[in-house]
């Protein structure tokens, strides 16, 4: 990878979270909120399916950022805001743009988008290139 | 007083009242199961290889931040109807509300290492009533600081929780 510069656009990553993954992530993070694994209950709260956990979005935002930055990178901070709900099996796309580069520190503006481009989550990830 | 006013009153009574929670001693298995839920087989291979050679094993970066509770329980009968425990829903027990995460800021200061004992210190830091496109809600601010036994800060998390009236609540939007 060439040294990053502000304005660089990272290659987008397309993915889905399966129902099984949402259940396993809830289990391993001791999150028993039923909206994340009980689609019928989620529907009773107005959601179209089992809801992707905020912290799972956080994992996606940061993991793709670290994969883009390479093996010698380390996560320093991550900040994200949930804008609309994503659900199990929904096609999602991770996007990122380099916002700043200061020495070995790179900040990315990141987002998770729905198929129509609506942002589910937006945020910032700070990475150290070590 | 309606439901959201009650949430607000409860939350404001908790602001800046810090509580410590013993997260216990974190293990390689904890880390690997977390990584498995993220389909991260490479992490598991690296962690187990390091463990086998006696090298320190660091947790996945967001492991502490993503774990919602470190309690042993509670049993199901003590959960709210939405599945949340009192620990995860400090201001809403017995109230007809829905809640979702608003967002999080996570600062990674030092990676927790397998075998270390971790403490989480947590407080409600703010509570505000807001009006959104889909109706009124209460925005709770929570802060959690994770430290190791020697007091070293590992991870700091600031998060917001959006609390709305239940859809079948008389006052819901």
Quote ipTM for the complex: 0.95
The whole-angstrom separation of Cα A39 and Cα A34 is 8
Please give the distance of CA B26 from its chain centroid, rounded to a whole number: 16
Which of A20, A22, A25, A31 should we substitute to test contact with B (largest number of B Cβ atoms within 10 Å)? A31
A105-113 β-sheet, strand order = A13-15, A92-102, A105-113, A119-129, A73-82, B97-108, B153-165, B135-148, B117-132, B19-25
Please, which pLDDT band fits residue B173 given cuts at 50, 70 and 90?
Answer: very low
Distances (CA, A) of B78 to A38, B6, B83: 18, 21, 9
Summarize pLDDT for A55-98 with one digit per residue, the tens.
999 999 999 999 999 999 999 999 999 999 999 999 999 999 99
- Chain B residue with minimum CA distance to A31: B68
* pLDDT attached to residue A63: 97
- Report phi then psi at A2, rounded to 5: -70, 155
The whole-angstrom separation of Cα B38 and Cα B66 is 12
Three-state DSSP at B75 gives coil
What tokens were used for B47? 């962690």
Output Rg (C-alpha) for chain B, integer angstroms: 18
Domains in chain B with CATH codes: 3-165 (3.10.129.10)
- B66 contacts in chain A (CB < 8 Å): 25, 29, 53, 55-56, 58-59
User: Are the beta carbons of B173 and B131 closer than 8 angstroms?
Assistant: no
The whole-angstrom separation of Cα A59 and Cα A65 is 10
* pLDDT attached to residue B94: 84
Q: How far is B5 from chain A (nearest CA, A)?
A: 20
B173 touches chain A (CB under 8 A): no
As a whole-number percent, the residues of chain A with pLDDT over 90 amount to: 95
Q: Give burial (CB, 10 Å; 0-12/13-18/19+) of A45.
A: middle
Give me the residue from B34, B69, B104 closest to A58, CB to CB. B104
Adjacent-strand bridge partners of B165: B97
The second-level CATH assignment, the architecture, of A13-129 is Roll (3.10)
Please, which pLDDT band fits residue B169 given cuts at 50, 70 and 90?
Answer: low
Summarize pLDDT for A4-46 with one digit per residue, the tens.
999 999 999 999 999 999 999 999 999 999 999 999 999 998 9
The whole-angstrom separation of Cα B19 and Cα B123 is 6
* pLDDT attached to residue A128: 97
Q: Do A21 and B34 touch (CB under 8 A)?
A: no
Q: Mean pLDDT throughout B89-96?
A: 83
The model's pTM is: 0.93
Residue A111 above 60 pLDDT?
Answer: yes
Please, which pLDDT band fits residue B171 given cuts at 50, 70 and 90?
Answer: low
* pLDDT attached to residue A53: 97
- A31 contacts in chain B (CB < 8 Å): 68-69, 88
């Amino acid at each position: 990878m060439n040294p990053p510069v502000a304005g660089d656009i990272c290659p987008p990553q397309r993915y889905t979270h399966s129902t099984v993954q949402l259940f396993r992530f809830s289990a391993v993070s001791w999150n028993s909120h039923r909206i994340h694994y009980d689609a019928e209950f989620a529907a009773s709260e107005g959601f179209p399916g089992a809801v992707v956990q905020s912290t799972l979005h956080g994992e996606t935002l940061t993991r793709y950022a670290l994969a883009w930055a390479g093996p010698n990178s380390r996560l320093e901070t991550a900040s994200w805001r949930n804008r609309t709900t994503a659900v199990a099996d929904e096609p999602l796309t991770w996007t990122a743009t380099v916002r700043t580069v200061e020495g070995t520190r790179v900040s990315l503006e990141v987002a998770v988008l729905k198929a129509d481009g609506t942002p589910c989550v937006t945020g910032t990830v700070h990475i150290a290139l070590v | 007083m309606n439901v959201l006013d009650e949430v607000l009153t409860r939350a404001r009574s908790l602001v800046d009242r810090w509580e410590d929670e013993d997260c216990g001693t974190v293990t390689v298995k904890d880390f690997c199961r977390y990584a498995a839920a993220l389909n991260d087989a490479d992490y598991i291979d690296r962690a187990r290889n390091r463990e086998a050679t006696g090298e320190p094993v660091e947790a996945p970066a967001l492991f502490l931040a993503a774990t919602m509770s470190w309690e042993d329980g509670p049993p199901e009968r003590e959960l709210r109807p939405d599945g949340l425990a009192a620990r995860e829903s400090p201001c809403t027990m017995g109230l007809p509300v829905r809640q979702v995460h608003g967002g999080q800021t996570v600062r990674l200061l030092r990676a927790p290492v397998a075998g270390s004992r971790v403490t989480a210190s947590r407080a409600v830091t703010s509570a505000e009533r807001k009006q959104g496109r889909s109706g009124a809600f209460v925005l709770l601010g929570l802060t959690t600081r994770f430290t190791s036994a020697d007091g070293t800060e590992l991870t700091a998390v600031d998060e917001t929780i959006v609390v709305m009236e239940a859809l079948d609540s008389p006052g819901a939007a």
